[in-house]
Amino acid sequence: MKLKSLICNLKANFNLEDVLEYKKVLVNHGDIPNLIVCPSFCFLPVMYSKNYQIGAQDVSEYGNGAYTGKVSVRMLKSLRVSAVLLNHAELKNKKSKVLAKLKKCLKAKMPIYIFISETAEEHNYQYTLKVLQNQIAYYLKNISHDNYQYISFIYEPNWLIGETSLEATEINNLIYILKKELENTYQHSFNILYGGGVNLSLVEALKDSFVDGFAIGNNSLDVNNILNIVNTLKK
């Protein structure tokens, strides 16, 4: 089984000194090829290392030009950014805006991770699978099969943000079925990660599962948490 991906979304945390210390600990650990660290835009050049990958927490739906405060895909590529996160619940982007960002990334052959979710009510009524399939269908409409290789999805129940995670068995079963449905529909094996309350015990429970990796938010702020998870995934 391939090594699972690990995405650290540092959000709007850390100052320069914190970032340098975080990076120092990671670099001292050695090569971590499956790790993508996503700091704030201003710290991307500082966080870069050959030991792991760096990712962006978001991207502009525009190209380079008169768009004050925006960060384009071309800018990110020039900083050796390896991937971009799209549609995190905290950004509250409209689907049309996410789709515009997606297309900009694909044009530049930039790998992307798209967050998908259902509501608590949809989950309670067992509509999760259908809701996720509909979201994915929206983003993949008119996207060529050749571009599927750049697209991964992160199932993160946004109604659980700040709460505990779903049970490991439920996560594994859902992602297994979703992956099979997508493979039948699109003739492509998409990577699907899980985010939301991810900690060491959940990773241990899902280490040999159908989940392709994990997106970690607040729990990634302690670099030792990340190294413990990295070591667990290697076993």
Q: What is the 3-state secondary structure (H, E, C) of the chain?
A: CCCCEEEEECCCCCCHHHHHHHHHHHHHHCCCCCEEEECCHHHHHHHCCCCCEEEECCCCCCCCCCCCCCCCHHHHHHCCCCEEEECCHHHCCCHHHHHHHHHHHHHCCCCEEEEECCCHHHHHCCCHHHHHHHHHHHHHCCCCHHHHHHEEEEECCHHHCCCCCCCHHHHHHHHHHHHHHHHHHHCCCCCEEEECCCCHHHHHHHCCCCCCEEEECHHHCCHHHHHHHHHHHHC
* Region 152-165 average pLDDT: 84
Q: What is the second-level CATH architecture of the domain 5-234?
A: Alpha-Beta Barrel (3.20)
> According to the model, what pLDDT value does residue 159 have?
86
Separation CA 83–CA 7 (nearest Å) = 10
Query: Rounded to whole angstroms, what are the CA distances from 106 to 92, 183, 191?
Result: 21, 20, 16
How many CB atoms are closer than 10 A to CB 56?
25
The stretch 131-143 carries a mean pLDDT of 98
Q: Residue 24 contacts by C-beta under 8 Å, 6 or more apart in sequence? A: none
Largest CA distance in the chain: 49
Average pLDDT over residues 96-122: 97
pTM recorded for the entire structure: 0.97
Instruction: With CA atoms as reference, report the closest residue to 230 among 56, 100, 53.
Output: 53
pLDDT (0 to 100) of residue 37: 98
Neighbours of 209 (CB within 10 A): 18
**Tens of pLDDT, residues 73-108:** 999 999 999 999 999 999 999 999 999 999 999 999
Strands 83-86 and 35-38 come out as unpaired
Residue 162 pLDDT more than 70? no
Structure tokens of 128? 């999760």
- Rounded CA Rg of the chain: 17
Kindly tell me if the per-residue pLDDT of 1 is higher than 80: no
Read off the amino acid at residue 198: V
Segment 225-232 mean pLDDT: 97
Cα–Cα distance list, 89 to 6, 126, 217 (Å): 19, 21, 12
